[in-house]
Amino acid sequence: QRPQASNQFPQASNQSPWTSNTQNSIPPQPFVFTGASSNEGQNQAQFQMRTGSNTGFTPVNFGHGPGDLNASELNTVYSVLASLATNSLLPSNPTEAIRQLGHALSNQIFTAAKHGDVSVLQNIFNLPPKVLAAARIHAAIHMPTTLIQPLHLASFHGHMGVCRFLLGMLNTASVNVPAADHETPLHKAAYNAHDSVVRVLLAAGADPNSTTPLNNGITRCVHGYPMNENGTGEVKKGRYTPLFYAVFNKPASASRTACVRELLEAQADPNRTDALGISPLYLACNHGYKDIVKVLHHHSKTNINLQIGEDAKGESPLIRACLMGFADIVKELLGERPSDGIDDMDGPGADVMIRTREGLTALHAAATKGNVEIVKMLIEAGARQVRCSHGNLPEDVAKKSGRDDVVAILQSMAAYTNEAGA
């Protein structure tokens, strides 16, 4: 099982989108309201909101006092509550009215962030600042358990307009605040390949190298690959970067490739691995994402020979591509690439003789699959037969697989080293 980005968002329900412990709880109701001005001659408070479907959001803790609100501001509080209520019973205590307003507006904010309704947010945050402060309404409010903020929701669902609006009210520190699952808004956007949102978040100061923490699990298989063969049954998971999320999720798409480009241009580390030592390039080779492999391969800072970590078998991206039978990706990896930070395509391709812990090479992998095209490419790139720790040559592996065509190629091209005993 591959790691899944957490989507701890409340599911739809038939209950009110906000809750109240008082008898006069406020049910949802579509409305358009224009508040009346006070007798003090202040400007008329304009408030318009459209409610969405019930979402079952649990409200955060809000203030419980009217503070120093003047008569006009208290009138705004009651006007909004009156427009939301289905009955004429409103709390006579201003403290309770402010509490109910906080609950209501909080849920409207989260609903608007989820569904991409910028106009709702604009109208809410156009309320008098002192009213919003008394109700503890601000752009960085969060759900009590998941710690998800409106920006997390909007980023996950790809709502560019909402993200821009919220970012206009947040500082850089707020942009990088993780939810309880330790995922930042950038993780959420990258996971779903919302490249335009990724670009906006990065421009606002999102950290392209933020990582989720290390966790220990009991899963025996991660990334579709068996791990931790010492029999403990525990597997390290975590340390996922936004770049990692942008690569491993399916399906492949132009927007996913664009996310990878955006992150690399923002100095995302292409060699930052997860808890198992698996790199973004390895994942792309595993999935067959040729376009992403090309972007990473052409990035001068990518270590194309980085082998997966100590909990696995030490495969390189090339070996993984050979095992998966992706000839086009093997060809890409073997091609020239930028070297030493220089953009000229003069650097060597992947190392064809790199070995796993068991001494297996890319040629062993290709022979196992019986892929004639890949075997020929590897030999032309300088691959030679060597024995693995079990004493087998790629030729032996091909024989066991019944691939006489591969055996013939290996023998005819004399693809041996002295170590092979040829």
| pLDDT higher than 50, residue 32 | no
277-331: pLDDT as tens digits: 899 999 999 999 999 999 999 998 999 999 987 667 899 999 999 999 999 999 9
Residue type, 246: A
Which among 264, 265, 280, 279 is positioned nearest to 314, based on CA atoms? 279
Amino acid at 397: V
Averaging pLDDT over each range in 73-87, 191-205, 392-406, which range is the top one? Answer: 191-205
pLDDT of residue 87: 59
- The pTM score is 0.78
Mean pLDDT of 21-27: 32
Question: Do 314 and 307 form a contact (C-beta atoms < 8 A)?
Answer: yes
Which string of DSSP letters, residue by residue, matches 352-375? TT---TT---HHHHHHHHT-HHHH
pLDDT(339) > 70: no
What number is the average pLDDT over the span 172-180? Answer: 92
What confidence score (pLDDT) does residue 134 get?
92
Q: Report, as an integer, the average pLDDT of 82-86.
A: 70
In DSSP terms, 342 is beta-bridged to 339
Continuous H helices in 249-403: 254-265, 280-287, 290-297, 317-324, 327-334, 362-369, 372-380, 394-400
Q: Residue 362's closest CA among 380, 383, 342, 376?
A: 383
Q: Which helix (H) or strand (E) holds 142?
A: none
Within a 13 Å sphere around the CA of 175, how many CA atoms are in the beta-carbon half? 24
Mean pLDDT value of segment 352-375: 95
Residue extents of the structural domains in the chain: 33-134
- Measured CA to CA, the distance from residue 47 to residue 108 in angstroms comes to 13
Please determine, for residue 52, whether its predicted confidence score (pLDDT) is greater than 90: no
Amino acid residing at 245? Y
Instruction: State both tokens at 46.
Output: 């304009």
In whole numbers, what is the pLDDT of the chain averaged over residues?
79
Residue 154 clears pLDDT 80, i.e. is over it: yes
User: Which residues have C-beta within 8 Å of that of residue 310, sequence separation ≥ 6?
Assistant: 277
d(CA 368, CA 122): 60
User: Best-predicted range by mean pLDDT among 16-20, 65-69, 74-78?
Assistant: 74-78
Q: Identify the weakest region by mean pLDDT among 25-34, 126-135, 172-181, 202-211.
A: 25-34
Q: What is the pLDDT of residue 248?
A: 81
Is 65 within 8 Å of 77 (Cβ atoms)? no
Residue 181 has pLDDT above 50, yes or no: yes
Query: Can you tell me the distance from the alpha carbon of 239 to that of 337, in angstroms, rounded to the nearest whole number?
Result: 28
